[in-house]
Amino acid sequence: MTTTPKPGGRIYFGWYVVAAFTFIALLTSGARNAFGIFVIPMTEEFGWSRGYISIAAALGFLVNGAAQPFMGRLVDRTGGRGAVLVSLVVMGVSTILLSLTFHILFLVFMFGIVTSMAASGASMTNTGAILSRWFQRKRATVVGISAAGVSAGGLIMVPFAMYLFQATDSWRLVWIILGSAILLLGVPIGLLFVHGSPARFGLRPDGDPDPSQSGLNTRAAANRGPLDTDRWRQSFRSLPMWQMSGSYFVCGATTMLLSVHFVPFAIDRDISPTIAATIFGVMTGLNVVGAIGAGILSDRFGRKNLLALVYLMRGCAYVLLLVVPLFLPGVAAFWAFAAVAGFSWIATAPLTTSLTADLYGTRALGTIVGVSFVFHQIGGFTSVLLAGFLFDLTGSYTIPFAIAGAMLFPAAISAFSIRERRYSSRYLAPAPLQTGGAAAGDDD
């Protein structure tokens, strides 16, 4: 069953696509971010070290990243609807199957490979690429709204999963409920509202009228920046792509570390499991404001300076987490960290995706951001694995958290040094309106 957009509708159908992707992100990211609450229960039941459990999580981030370019290529070629729907089905089923975990290799295979590959199809990189076709002037805003679903997932699903675990004392049942939510809620929403391009329904980005009929001369219709390309490999021949990808490596290292190890870190510091999960949920929930706010501000003022500010804020948050306990023991440091880091957690995603679209166009955007996201996931793989084994070696998370915090300041400098005004299509003068020729093509 599908919903067919009507060009004459009062509400531009792209907003329904935004809402669908936001809800899907809530379900899928919430299920994955809840992994941290299973670390201690599985350690106690099976006697596994945190280093071994970290292998499953770290491999999951790496596999998810490795699959992104292929999923992005599929989105570029097919529009993305099928990729998103199949991914949701596989992710829902494999999440349910995690309830059958009996051996570390089963956990590694099911979470680290199957679930993680499925998650790549409905990831923010692909949904952001699809939304970049539906919107141009409000591109970062809508990608930010969609990314806010990830934050809402942390705010709602992680504390909810912890509540279920404490109420039932069964981590297996929690996996079943999380997977069922994806299948019973996410898949129907996707069937109704996920479509790859406005062009299939006679619509234009942002719901604008056809410029050849209205006389409007919009940048979206005509402009191509100096780095605009149809081939993803071409993008990596220019410096901005490497600057964004290098910063994205640090982004993955510093957020995935928290997804897996923040709750155990807090519990080890004598914070109750409920309070630890609540702090994590509030931290990710604050990014509802951070992601949407970053999108709105960047559509108005530009991308790269805000991107640099986000990395700087996150670096300061890590400093607070490690320094405040020296003067004020207890839960205060974790709330301070949550307050500052919360606004920066997912804000990098809409800014990076939108800046990439501005610089390199949308024809190969799914593949380009997919390849860039590999760097993000390699960072996550490295930090999660390193943190687990350093904890087993030292009995503390201090060293991996300090390393993560230190990396964020060079990342901020790298983002700030991007020459956005030189290469972005947003700053080019509008091209002359062409009449009498074919209308501009679309991706789908």
Q: Could you tell me if 35 and 259 are in contact, meaning their C-beta atoms sit under 8 angstroms apart?
A: yes
Q: What are phi and psi of 78, to 5 degrees?
A: -115, -10
pLDDT digits (tens, 9 = 90+) for 71-130: 888 888 888 888 899 999 999 999 999 999 989 899 989 998 999 899 888 888 788 888
Model pTM score: 0.72
pLDDT digits (tens, 9 = 90+) for 390-409: 988 888 888 999 999 999 99
Q: Distance of alpha carbon 36 from its chain centroid, rounded?
A: 17
Q: Could you tell me if 371 and 232 are in contact, meaning their C-beta atoms sit under 8 angstroms apart?
A: yes
Q: Is the dihedral of CA 164, 118, 245, 429 positive or negative?
A: negative
- Rounded to an integer, the average pLDDT of 256-262 is 85
Confidence of residue 62 (pLDDT cuts 50, 70, 90): confident
pLDDT digits (tens, 9 = 90+) for 197-232: 887 778 888 777 765 554 444 444 446 678 888 888
Strands (E), 263-339: none
CB burial readout 198-231, b (16+ within 10 A) else e:
bbeeebbbbbbeebbeeeeebebbbbebebbbee
Is the CATH number of domain 14-197+227-425 3.10.129.10?
Answer: no
- Which pLDDT score is estimated for 90? 95
- Which pLDDT score is estimated for 438? 35
Higher per-residue confidence, 168 vs 76: 168
pLDDT digits (tens, 9 = 90+) for 286-340: 878 888 888 888 888 888 999 999 999 999 999 988 888 877 777 888 898 888 8
Rounded CA gap, 205 and 133, in Å? Answer: 6
Q: Distance of alpha carbon 417 from its chain centroid, rounded?
A: 23
Q: What are phi and psi of 156, to 5 degrees?
A: -100, -50
Higher per-residue confidence, 12 vs 429: 12
